[in-house]
């Protein structure tokens, strides 16, 4: 008895591929007006590319506040990770986009949403010295004592990455001497 071959993905025609490429280019460039037109005509806001990046992942990661707002208000899911397991909130925590982090949290982004290696958005912000985002995430319930797969916390990661502002802030919180 022979095993049937695994199913293959249907091939896309050149026109469909070009449409998909142009859609993702609009998002990366932050062309909110053109994207709004496409969304109004039925483009799914949770569409993902071959790397698993959703439209909201790319809009937020590239710092496009208006484009991110459009997608979220149209129903984009802020918690869909890409193929690497990174969520939009972790991406903006890494990049330092405070307003977009606030927007994602307003649309129910999971503050503790961790990647496969256990890194949370707070850890990303702490590692890259993004103090305003660390403060925001903590106000929204992020836990500073969460550990990743290597048993590292936000404090230990900030120390390892030489992130002086976030390290000092988190250490003050840990000792209870907030100022």
List the chain domain ranges.
Answer: 15-110, 113-178
For 145, phi then psi, to 5°, come to -95, 5
Distances in whole angstroms, Cα of residue 138 to Cα of each of 97, 110, 132, 144: 16, 12, 10, 8
Dihedral sign, Cα of residue 168, residue 146, residue 80, residue 53 = positive
Split at pLDDT 50, 70, 90, the class of 3 is confident
Give Dmax over CA atoms of the chain in angstroms.
Answer: 72
Higher pLDDT: 80 or 50? It is 80
User: What would the pLDDT profile of 70-120 be if each residue is shown by its tens digit?
Assistant: 999 999 999 999 999 999 999 999 999 999 999 999 999 999 999 999 999
pLDDT at residue 178 is higher than 60: no
CA 61 vs. chain centroid, Å, equals: 7
Q: What is the CATH number of domain 15-110?
A: 1.25.40.20
Q: What would the mean pLDDT of 21-39 be, rounded to a whole number?
A: 96
What's the predicted TM-score (pTM) here?
0.90
Query: Which residue in the block uniquely carries the two structure tokens 């208006």?
Result: 66
> Is residue 51 classed as helix, strand or coil in its secondary structure?
coil
CA 11 vs. chain centroid, Å, equals: 29
Question: Is 113-178 assigned to CATH 1.25.40.20?
Answer: yes
> What token pair was written down for 50?
């071959």
pLDDT at residue 172 is higher than 70: yes
């Amino acid at each position: 008895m022979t095993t049937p071959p695994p199913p293959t993905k249907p091939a896309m025609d050149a026109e469909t591929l070009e449409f998909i490429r142009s859609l993702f280019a609009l998002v990366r460039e932050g062309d909110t007006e053109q994207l709004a037109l496409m969304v109004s005509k039925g483009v799914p806001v949770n569409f993902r590319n071959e790397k698993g990046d959703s439209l909201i992942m790319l809009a937020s990661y590239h710092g496009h506040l208006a484009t991110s707002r459009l997608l979220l208000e149209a129903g984009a899911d802020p918690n869909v990770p890409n193929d690497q397991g990174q969520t939009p909130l972790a991406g903006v925590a890494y990049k330092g986009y405070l307003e977009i982090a606030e927007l994602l949290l307003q649309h129910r982004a999971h503050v503790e949403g961790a990647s496969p290696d256990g890194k949370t958005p707070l850890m990303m912000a702490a590692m890259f010295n993004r103090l305003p985002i660390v403060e925001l995430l903590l106000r929204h319930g992020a836990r500073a004592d969460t550990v990743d797969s290597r048993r590292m916390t936000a404090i230990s990661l900030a120390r390892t990455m030489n992130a002086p502002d976030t390290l000092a802030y988190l250490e003050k919180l840990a000792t209870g001497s907030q100022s």
